[in-house]
Amino acid sequence: MPDTKQSIILGGLVAGLLSTSYLGIITCCLGVVVGAVVAVWHYTDTNELTVPTGHGAKIGAFAALIGLLIATVLNFILMQAGINHETAWVEFMISKFGDQMPPEQLEAMEAAMTKEKTFVDYAQGIGISSIVSGLFGAIGGAIAAKMFKKGGDEVTSFDSINDL
């Protein structure tokens, strides 16, 4: 059974870069799906084999989680450099839709911009992002498994995490 680590890391790099800062706002979950597709494509192309949908989903989910880790580190570095995409996103929403929002919602958004985040806030964000990224990564990986059939032996069993 060929090793998937290299493919997962490559997909994670793509997902992480596409999910960083302002680019992450633009692509939303599309960056995660693209990273998962790249991981499965790389795995099937390098090893010239076809993988079942479930295995593609696992590769995609792991690539998405690696991507989340990379995006989190890069976003932290950018925030230390003074580039805060969360504040920019809230400012954009207020400028575009502020006149259509109830005053309470507008006040809540402005308060969220100035609130100092705690460890619990970051942990919640990472937890929710892990679930959403893993889900979208699995979807992207499953789709890619159906897209990239190489005609070789279809891998059907996985005995350990190393087989992933």
Residues 6+ apart with CB under 8 A from 83: 21
Nearest to 154 by CA among 58, 36, 56: 56
Q: What is the pLDDT, as a whole number, of residue 153? A: 52
Q: What is the pLDDT, as a whole number, of residue 163? A: 56
Cα–Cα distance, 128 to 125 (Å, whole number): 5
Q: What is the pLDDT, as a whole number, of residue 152? A: 56
Q: What is the pLDDT, as a whole number, of residue 162? A: 54
Cα–Cα distance, 39 to 72 (Å, whole number): 19
Amino acid occupying residue 11 = G
Tell the residue number behind the tokens 């950018």, with chain if given: 78
Q: What is the pLDDT, as a whole number, of residue 94? A: 77
Q: What is the pLDDT, as a whole number, of residue 108? A: 81
Q: How far from 17 is each of 6, 14, 53, 65, CA to CA, in Å?
A: 17, 5, 25, 13
pLDDT tens digits, 141-160: 999 999 997 765 555 555 44
Q: What is the pLDDT, as a whole number, of residue 160? A: 46
Whether 35 and 14 have beta carbons less than 8 Å apart is answered as yes
Q: What is the pLDDT, as a whole number, of residue 12? A: 97
Q: What is the pLDDT, as a whole number, of residue 36? A: 97
What are the φ/ψ torsions at residue 50 (nearest 5 degrees)? -105, 140
Q: In this structure, what token pair is assigned to residue 159?
A: 């005995």
Query: pLDDT tens per residue, the chain (164 residues)?
Result: 689 999 999 999 999 999 887 777 777 789 999 999 999 999 999 988 999 999 999 999 999 999 999 998 998 898 888 877 777 777 777 777 777 888 888 788 777 777 777 888 888 988 999 999 999 999 999 999 999 977 655 555 554 445 55
Residues 6+ apart with CB under 8 A from 50: 44, 145, 148, 149, 150, 151, 152, 153, 154, 155
Q: Is the pTM of this model over 0.75?
A: yes
Cα–Cα distance, 127 to 120 (Å, whole number): 10
Q: What is the pLDDT, as a whole number, of residue 151? A: 63
